[in-house]
Structure 1
Amino acid sequence: MRSNEPFSLDWIGVDNPWTGVGVDLVALQTIVCDIFHVPRAQCGPPVVLNPMEEEDDDEGYARVYAFQLPSRSVVARLVAPVKPMFKTEAEVAAMDFVRSKTALPVPEIYSYCSDARNPVGVEWIIMEHMPGMMMDDALPTLQPAHLRRLAHDLVDLHDQLSKLRADGCGSIYHSTGDFGPSTFASKRCSRSLRWNLPPKELLRSMNNLCAHRLDDGYRLGPLNDINLLQFKLAVPPPAQTMPVSTSEDYVKLLAFNGSPTTRSDDDPPASEMCVELFLHVQNLYPNSPFLGPSVDAEKFFFSHGDLHGANILVDPKSGAVTGLIDWEAAAFRPLWACMAGVGWFREDRQRFLTSDVDPENFEDDVSGDAELRALFRTELHNRNPDLFACFLGGVELRGILNGACDLPRPAGSPDIFLSRYLRLGFWNEARRGPFPCDMNAWRRRRYQLDVVERERQQALKAAQNGKI
């Protein structure tokens, strides 16, 4: 479908993935009662945990509800139909994987269904209700000692995840041979329990696309990066987001929205220019095993993929991290791409150009902020020097990648990013030599597309006026 907005020629997604989706919350409550063998009278009604803000124009990728049972509160995460089955299967496998391999506070999954053809009407995951407040909400209430505890816990989070490695870049899935129906069991286990068995054709699809074997019954499969799940663009199918083996291929996969690309030929060529710039910057680190162009075996690290202050739960009385939620974008990635800090401790927006926003250079720091940031950096270096090197050294690579993955105009601004990158002096020609991209040719191409778009808009208006 085409929008009347300028530069929307490759906007062939949807404004809201929940449009036309029917959800039966009564059926969901019945399933919760069945799983836990609880009479309906002892199961509270669904309570919304992620209400929409008034300024939101869509509902995102999940609706989340809590159910109060006699002995516990459980959470039901209803999954929007974006990359059906694969995203849910990867999220479940990621949570199982991290729970079995680390001491991080990841919710236990009691049961799940990755086939929308069930009584609820959508895919769902029923899991443990983790304690704590969202980190963003808790930060203003934390005392200095609590903030220091939080800094240490966040370093520990990154350190534990960085020890989980693979020889490819992609999302993680359970081996398809384990895809049998199960009933609820209360003990913690490495394989979450499936509510029903998906149709054979879906299992065959997963088996074909998740052929890269990992240890302990896991496989590497199609990548579910947030940039590949942007439902306002075309969401590339699993066959176009297969695992890759180099940072270059990872960047191209994200920038071009799949392989082969799902972006329109009429999309302004800023993404291609950003990829070219990325490769030139990467070549400035020929001897770095993390920032340079060479990727050795086992150099892909497991990461959450959407780690921000709303997906980290914190004890407001101590600053301790109590829960890590929303693992739908988890995957093995290059370490430079994973190690951006998190929430308040994410320094990229302070030190580097973010889309069309200039670096803030810590200008909004108040008393104690600099010391807390120094504590985080020092602890990170002491715990894991590789993480520290990617945290500081990877900021430019991450910034260029974000520019490459931005939506087209008018919502996105990859073209503005490129212009500001050059004008603000991020490419130091005295030290790096001539700028590697032909900006004049790029501007001419962008102008040509502007002309095409104006002509399309004029033709559209003329057609509309003719019908009146």
Structure 2
Amino acid sequence: MADEYSTCDWPGVKDPWIGVSVDMGALQTIVSQFFRIPTSQCGPPVPVGLHQNGNYGRVYSFVLPSQVVVARLVAPVKPLFKTECEVAAMNFVRRYTSCPVPFVYVYCSESSNPVGAEWILMEHVPGLELDQAWNQMKYPQKQNLARNLADVYDQLCRLRANACGGIYHSVHSIDSSDLSARSPRWQPLSAESLQLLRSHTSSPVRDGYKLGPIQDSSLVNFRLAVPTASQTMPTFSSKEYVKLVAFNGLPPTRSKYDLPTREKCVQLFESICGFYPSSSLFGSLVGNPYFYFSHGDFHDGNILVDPESGSITGIIDWEAAGFRPLWAEIHGVGWFEEDHHRFLRGDENPENFEDDADSDLQLRAFFRRELYQKNPDLFYCFFGGVELRATFQAAADSPRPVGKSHIYLEKYHRLGYWAERRGDFPWDMVAWLNARFDLDEEWTRAELAESSCADSGLGAAQFSF
């Protein structure tokens, strides 16, 4: 695709690092000063993982005389809030669970520092990414991993709040001593940043922590218009949460070409919830009085494993962490993720476990049993939440031409996922398809007009729809 992102629906940037000048020498100096060693004893920064354009974070390791430490550079997407949320989440989970989370030594959530970007300095945790370790593991190790995954889900879901939102350290003054010594800021916050955090965080969770702007992965999609902190404040019901994510903030930032599809995704979600009027997990008011803590981006690339034992050695990348409805997070990880087998996802039909061998069936049964034994609600959300998750994913998806939300809605209706016993479909699908066709034509005309405008030498700012 020559131009993957149209300006109509993609007003953001393709690479969040454009214009950012990072001084790695300054970072090395900070590492040396923090650990009180000569710069000559601090090894050079070694890239960890892929450092492609478009990544939110760039990770480097530094070899010191007695240990290895990791520095994560943070792209300027949702400045201040995303880094503050990530650090608070790691501290929160370390404090109230036994989940293996990197220890944060020091961090800076403002880019106005010698490095030129926000950064987090943390301990190095051992292990291979789950997707790399899986084929090295035998059945007993995979069973141990299943047990570990169920335990992580169980521990996180016992951390609860009365609203859906990101988590932040409480801030009372400009003195960095507001934070415990577990993860001090490298420098006190500026008065402006201090005021922003104060005005956007409320609802105490536990000692030293408050709720604040939601940091779902889709809400920090730098290719879209990234909604402000004020547009992503905590919500108090599952419906409000889904609507906020679907509209990419409230007030919405979706374009007029994309918003009608998001509205239908929300309508379908609300209609499905209506079939669970008394369910504390799937009902229309799910989340009250509690939302559950979740990683927010729990996939096999963010889980480190010891392939010799199958034990989880580390869980990384907590930038999207926060409190959410339980059904939204309990989906399994890597091979244990079954949604794509059991339900329509985007434009892809279910795979129906077609390639599973007998040992696969046994392992799946073992994982499900572990979830149930840990907490029956985990098991019920894993199974019963699949339709809600699929619809939520469609609501949060990217706009056309990359996103598949409209295809999901069409296939959901055409393939009969809305069973006849449920009554009439929530809307007239033929009328909606016709209306969307008209919008698609208008979108195409606008795209062609913009292309012609660009070819003629006029800037995008001189062209409006």
- TM over 0.5, yes or no? yes
Give the CA deviation at 1:334. Answer: 0.5
* Deviation string, structure 1 residues 390-423 (Cα, Å, up to 9, x no partner): 1100000000000011111111111111011111
1:277–1:73 Cα change, 3 Å: same
1:437 maps to what in 2? 427
1:70 maps to what in 2? 65
Question: Distance in 2 between the 1:332 and 1:124 partners?
Answer: 24
1:446 maps to what in 2? 436
The SS at the match of 2:151 is helix
Q: Which among 412, 416, 439 is matched to residue 407 of structure 2?
A: 416
Query: What amino acid does structure 1 have at the position aligned with 2:30?
Result: I
CA contact (8 A) 1:12 1:234 kept: yes
1:390–1:421 Cα change, 3 Å: same
* Deviation string, structure 1 residues 300-352 (Cα, Å, up to 9, x no partner): 00000000001000001100000010000000001111111112111111111
The SS at the match of 2:328 is helix
- Superposition pairs of residues 170-319 of structure 1, within 5 angstroms: 170-177=165-172, 180-181=175-176, 191-267=182-258, 269-295=260-286, 297-319=288-310
Give the CA deviation at 1:179. Answer: 5.7
Give the CA deviation at 1:160. Answer: 0.3
Give the CA deviation at 1:367. Answer: 4.3
CA contact (8 A) 1:23 1:122 kept: yes
1:103 maps to what in 2? 98
The SS at the match of 1:63 is strand
Give the CA deviation at 1:463. Answer: 4.8
Q: Which stretches in structure 2 are left out of the alignment for 5+ residues?
A: 459-465
1:427–1:167 Cα change, 3 Å: same
Identity across matched positions, percent: 52
The two structures have a TM-score, normalised by structure 1, of 0.94
Q: Would you say 1:43 and 2:42 are equivalent positions?
A: yes
Query: What amino acid does structure 2 have at the position aligned with 1:272?
Result: E
1:343–1:178 Cα change, 3 Å: farther
1:251–1:464 Cα change, 3 Å: closer
Query: What amino acid does structure 1 have at the position aligned with 2:274?
Result: N
Question: Distance in 1 between the 2:324 and 2:30 partners?
Answer: 36
Q: Which among 403, 409, 412 is matched to residue 394 of structure 2?
A: 403
1:451–1:321 Cα change, 3 Å: same
Give the CA deviation at 1:438. Answer: 2.0
* Deviation string, structure 1 residues 126-150 (Cα, Å, up to 9, x no partner): 0010010001100000011100100
Query: What amino acid does structure 2 have at the position aligned with 1:303?
Result: S
The SS at the match of 1:269 is helix
Q: Which stretches in structure 1 are left out of the alignment for 5+ residues?
A: none
Query: What amino acid does structure 1 have at the position aligned with 2:68?
Result: S
The SS at the match of 1:323 is strand
CA contact (8 A) 1:183 1:194 kept: no
Query: What amino acid does structure 2 have at the position aligned with 1:18?
Result: W
Worse overlay, 173-182 or 113-122: 173-182
Worse overlay, 36-45 or 440-449: 440-449
1:9 maps to what in 2? 8
Give the CA deviation at 1:151. Answer: 0.4
Question: Distance in 2 between the 1:410 and 1:232 partners?
Answer: 13
* Deviation string, structure 1 residues 190-217 (Cα, Å, up to 9, x no partner): 7411100121011011101102222211
Question: Distance in 1 between the 2:5 and 2:101 partners?
Answer: 43
2:348 maps to what in 1? 357
Question: Distance in 1 between the 2:171 and 2:417 partners?
Answer: 47
Give the CA deviation at 1:458. Answer: 4.0
The SS at the match of 2:10 is coil
Question: Distance in 1 between the 2:280 and 2:418 partners?
Answer: 22
Q: Which among 83, 86, 95 is matched to residue 91 of structure 1?
A: 86
Question: Distance in 1 between the 2:444 and 2:370 partners?
Answer: 54
CA contact (8 A) 1:182 1:195 kept: no
1:61 maps to what in 2? 56
Q: Aligned pairs, how many?
A: 457
Q: Would you say 1:22 and 2:21 are equivalent positions?
A: yes
Question: Distance in 1 between the 2:350 and 2:173 partners?
Answer: 48
Query: What amino acid does structure 1 have at the position aligned with 2:57?
Result: A
Question: Distance in 1 between the 2:384 and 2:372 partners?
Answer: 13
CA contact (8 A) 2:163 2:287 kept: no
Question: Distance in 1 between the 2:283 and 2:300 partners?
Answer: 30
Give the CA deviation at 1:162. Answer: 0.6
The two structures have a TM-score, normalised by structure 2, of 0.94
Q: Which among 108, 131, 136 is matched to residue 136 of structure 1?
A: 131
1:178–1:98 Cα change, 3 Å: farther
Give the CA deviation at 1:178. Answer: 6.6
Give the CA deviation at 1:92. Answer: 0.5
CA contact (8 A) 2:6 2:447 kept: no
Query: What amino acid does structure 1 have at the position aligned with 2:427?
Result: C
Give the CA deviation at 1:465. Answer: 6.6
Query: What amino acid does structure 2 have at the position aligned with 1:115?
Result: E
1:458–1:307 Cα change, 3 Å: closer
Question: Distance in 2 between the 1:4 and 1:290 partners?
Answer: 42
1:323 maps to what in 2? 314
Question: Distance in 2 between the 1:113 and 1:67 partners?
Answer: 18
Q: What value does the CA root-mean-square deviation take over the aligned residues?
A: 2.0
